[in-house]
């Protein structure tokens, strides 16, 4: 978790450079993975986050999901600051990109 938070902090400090966070093994034939790729921010402080994941429970890669999140830098900061709650003893484990989004 520390590596994830440090990478997010690094991106927030300098959002003009792309960053990637990889959980698991994303090589061909690997054991499954979860990847966040943060694209450089644009002039409107919008950023695109690519999420790519695969459950390695078959040889054909049938359980793979890839999608994109377009958001504002402030929303990423909010999400980052609340992310440690996932590993806390708080049973409200919902983490949002913005406090007003339901």
Each domain of the chain, given as residue ranges in start order, spans: 2-87
With beta carbons less than 8 A apart as the criterion, state whether 66 and 51 touch.
yes
Which position has the higher pLDDT, 9 or 33?
9
Give this prediction's pTM.
Answer: 0.73
pLDDT at 53 over 90: no
At residue 38 the predicted structure's pLDDT band, cuts being 50, 70 and 90, is: very high
Pull the structure tokens for residue 2. 């520390």
Cα 48 from chain centre: 10
Q: Decide which of 3.40.50, 1.10.10, 3.30.70, 3.10.450 is the CATH code for 2-87.
A: 3.10.450
Distance separating alpha carbons of residues 9 and 3, to the nearest angstrom? 10
Which position has the higher pLDDT, 65 or 17? Answer: 17
């Amino acid at each position: 978790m520390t590596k994830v938070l440090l990478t997010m902090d690094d991106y927030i400090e300098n959002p003009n450079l792309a960053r990637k966070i990889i959980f698991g093994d994303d090589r061909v034939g690997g054991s499954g993975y979860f990847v966040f790729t943060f694209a450089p921010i644009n002039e409107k402080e919008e950023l695109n986050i690519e999420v790519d994941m695969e459950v390695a429970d078959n040889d054909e890669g049938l359980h793979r999901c890839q999608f994109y999140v377009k958001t504002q830098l402030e929303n990423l900061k909010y999400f980052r600051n609340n992310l440690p709650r996932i590993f806390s003893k708080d049973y409200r484990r919902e983490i949002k990109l913005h406090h007003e989004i339901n």
